[in-house]
Amino acid sequence: MISKKMEGFVKNSSAIRAMFEEGQKMAAVYGKENVYDFSLGNPNVPAPPAVNESMISILRSDPAVMVHGYMNNAGYEDVRTAIAENLNERFGMHYDAECLIMTVGAAGGMNVIMKTLLNPGDEAVTFSPYFGEYRSYVGNYDGVLVESPVDGVTFQPDPDALAERITDRTRVLIINSPNNPTGVVYTEESIRAVAAVLEKKQQEFGHEIYIFSDEPYRELVYGDTAVPYIPKFYRNTIVGYSYSKSLSLPGERIGYVAMSRDIDDYENVYSAAKTANRILGFVNAPSLQQRAIAGCLGEKTDMGYYDRNRRTLYDALTADGFTCVHPDGAFYLWMKTPEPDEKAFCARAKEKRILVVGGSSFGCSGFVRIAYCVAYETITGSLPGFAELAREYGLC
């Protein structure tokens, strides 16, 4: 007998994760090299060597009692200071250690902030398509996730659609740019327009509406694409960050939330978030990882690797006749399915041993997400299957 609420969560459980586990089973049957698993955002680029070297050096040199011990629930103070200074330098912010809380990845940070902000029935708006786990992260605290569709062509936020969805119960807007699943980076123009809507609504309803900026893909952009730092455009912004993708450490669960001292009700929000971090059972972000990333703030992942995957896949699929959103960031390709029933398309793709996730998982049917953070051989190996699909659908 499990709780009624968990029954619902299990029923609506992650299709991405189900696909990932299915992919592992298929790999066991057909051989890993014959399964083209694009289901999960699990980086195939190894962590930069400096990250492992940083861990080894800490393990060799620093006192174990400190490295593996409890610290302030917000994280080591020197680590938070180092990150704050790095952000100040890069984005002209005025963060200090008391603006940051080290978290168990971005998912941990988002749960901490949702628990901090949401009363039952409070609304969290997000631009759709969106990472489907947001439904759980908001639902955990009995909040209501409200979807605000983006522009159907550019996949940029639609300020008018947003304005219609903000109510007196709206507590937070969740923004995710570079976006999972579309790979689109929201432009400065978009962010300014969104900020203007929120400023107006804050005045109209007489209470603050926070932005939670979920930024695990901030560093993953191609060419000279700029990712606006949202706190520069909207004061009441809380940033959630993760090193999962930028340093290829998704299993290690290390990230942070950052909030300026000038957000409304800063002291209560910070103090509550720190408490939430403790009582949700995180207690603190993993200690060795905190110390390791503090020494690797200048490290970058190999974007050339992802870029080759991106170009190869995008060029081949569009040449096949598929309609894809051109991705400027992250490592996802968002593709329109050639038949409206995405489930049918996913099933046909699976016959070619190609695993992709249906758009419904991201609140937007008629599309699939292709996570191209895979081995290059997975990309090239999958192309004949994609080409067959295109022919079967009469696209080419």
**Binding to its own copies in span 129-168, by CB under 8 A:** 133, 136-137, 140-141
Terminal-residue alpha carbon distance, the chain: 52
Q: Is 360 in the site for its own copies (CB under 8 A)?
A: no
Pairing of strands 255-259, 100-103: antiparallel
Degrees, nearest 5: CA angle 298-304-310: 130
CB of 208 to its own copies, least distance (A): 6
Token pair 């689109």 in the structure block, residue: 184
AA identity, residue 54: S
In the region spanning residues 176 to 195, those forming contacts with its own copies, defined by CB under 8 A, are none
d(CA 317, CA 323): 8
Q: Is 223 in the site for its own copies (CB under 8 A)?
A: no
In the region spanning residues 273 to 332, those forming contacts with its own copies, defined by CB under 8 A, are 275-276, 278-289
Tell me the window of 88-96, 101-109, 321-329, 334-342 that interacts with its own copies (CB under 8 A).
101-109
223 vs 281, beta carbon nearer its own copies: 281
List the structure tokens of 67: 């490295």
Q: Is 251 in the site for its own copies (CB under 8 A)?
A: yes
CB of 91 to its own copies, least distance (A): 25
In the region spanning residues 26 to 55, those forming contacts with its own copies, defined by CB under 8 A, are 40, 42-47, 51-52, 55
Q: Is 96 in the site for its own copies (CB under 8 A)?
A: no
d(CA 149, CA 158): 7
Q: Is 78 in the site for its own copies (CB under 8 A)?
A: no
Q: Is 15 in the site for its own copies (CB under 8 A)?
A: no
d(CA 34, CA 29): 9
Q: Is 229 in the site for its own copies (CB under 8 A)?
A: no
Q: Is 3 in the site for its own copies (CB under 8 A)?
A: yes
Q: Is 119 in the site for its own copies (CB under 8 A)?
A: yes
Instruction: Dump the DSSP string for 199-221.
Output: HHHHHHHTS--EEEEE-TTTT-B
205 vs 393, beta carbon nearer its own copies: 205
11 vs 394, beta carbon nearer its own copies: 11
Tell me the window of 15-23, 153-161, 193-201, 376-384 that interacts with its own copies (CB under 8 A).
15-23
Tell me the window of 56-64, 293-301, 328-336, 352-360 that interacts with its own copies (CB under 8 A).
56-64
d(CA 253, CA 244): 7
AA identity, residue 177: S
* Burial tier of 295 (Cβ tally within 10 Å: 0-12, 13-18, 19+): middle
Q: Is 22 in the site for its own copies (CB under 8 A)?
A: no
How many chain residues are in contact with its own copies, going by CB under 8 A? Answer: 86
Residue spans of alpha helices (H) in the chain? 4-11, 15-30, 49-61, 64-67, 77-91, 105-117, 133-139, 159-165, 188-205, 266-279, 287-294, 303-320, 342-351, 376-392
In the region spanning residues 192 to 211, those forming contacts with its own copies, defined by CB under 8 A, are 207-208
